[in-house]
Amino acid sequence: MTKAEEIQKKIKKLLDELNSGLYEKERSIRLTLLAVLAGESTFMLGEPGTAKSLVARRISEAFKEPSNKEEVKFFDYLMNQFSQPDEIFGPVSVQELKNDNYKRKTAKYLPKAQFAFLDEIWKANPAIQNALLTILNEKIFRNGGETEHVPLIGFMSASNELPAKNQGLDAIFDRFLVRILELPISNEDNFRNMVSAERIPTSNITEKLSATDIETIQSEAEKVELSDDCFNVIQAVRKIISEKNNESNREADERYIISDRRWKKIVNLMRVSAYCNGRTETDLMDASLIADCIWSTISQEQEAKAIMQDAIGHFGMECTTDFEEWEQKVEKLKTNIDKNFFEKDVFFTVSFNNKSGEKIEYYILDDLNGHKCGISVNSTNALWDTTEHYFFLGDKDVEPTQIPSSKVKINKKANEVKIEGKTYRIQPAPKALEKITFDAASDCFDKMVNDLKDDIKQQINQIDQDMGELDNQFRSNLFANSDLYYGVIFDEQINMKTKYAKLINIIDFQQSRYKEFQVE
Give Cα 81 to chain centroid, integer Å.
45
Looking at domain 1-84+111-209, its CATH superfamily turns out to be: P-loop containing nucleotide triphosphate hydrolases (3.40.50.300)
β partners of residue 422? 419
Give the whole-angstrom CA distance, residue 462 versus residue 474: 18
pLDDT score at 119:
96
β partners of residue 118? 77, 157
Best-predicted range by mean pLDDT among 34-43, 144-153, 242-251? 34-43
Domain coordinates in residue numbering, the chain: 1-84+111-209, 222-315, 342-436, 441-517
- Identify whether the C-beta of residue 141 lies closer than 8 Å to the C-beta of residue 106: yes
Q: Are strands 140-143 and 146-149 parallel, antiparallel or unpaired?
A: antiparallel
Tell me the per-residue pLDDT of 281-331, one tens digit each, with 9 for 90 and over: 999 999 999 999 999 999 999 999 999 999 998 887 776 778 899 999 999
Tell me the per-residue pLDDT of 17-51, one tens digit each, with 9 for 90 and over: 999 888 999 999 999 999 999 999 999 999 999 99
317 closest CA partner among 477, 476, 489: 489
Q: Residue 430: pLDDT above 50? A: no
pLDDT score at 160:
93
pLDDT score at 149:
93
pLDDT score at 334:
86
- Identify whether the C-beta of residue 229 lies closer than 8 Å to the C-beta of residue 287: yes
pLDDT score at 104:
92
pLDDT score at 418:
66
Q: Residue 376: pLDDT above 50? A: no
pLDDT score at 408:
63
DSSP assignment of 379-435, as one string?
Answer: -S---TT-S---EEEEETTEEEEEE-GGGEEEETTTTEEEETTEEEE-SS-GGGHHI
pLDDT score at 475:
81
Q: Work out the average pLDDT over 150-156.
A: 95
Q: pTM here?
A: 0.74
Phi/psi region, residue 21 (left: phi>0; alpha: psi -120 to 50; beta: rest), is left
Q: Are strands 359-366 and 372-376 parallel, antiparallel or unpaired?
A: antiparallel
Q: Residue 375: pLDDT above 60? A: no
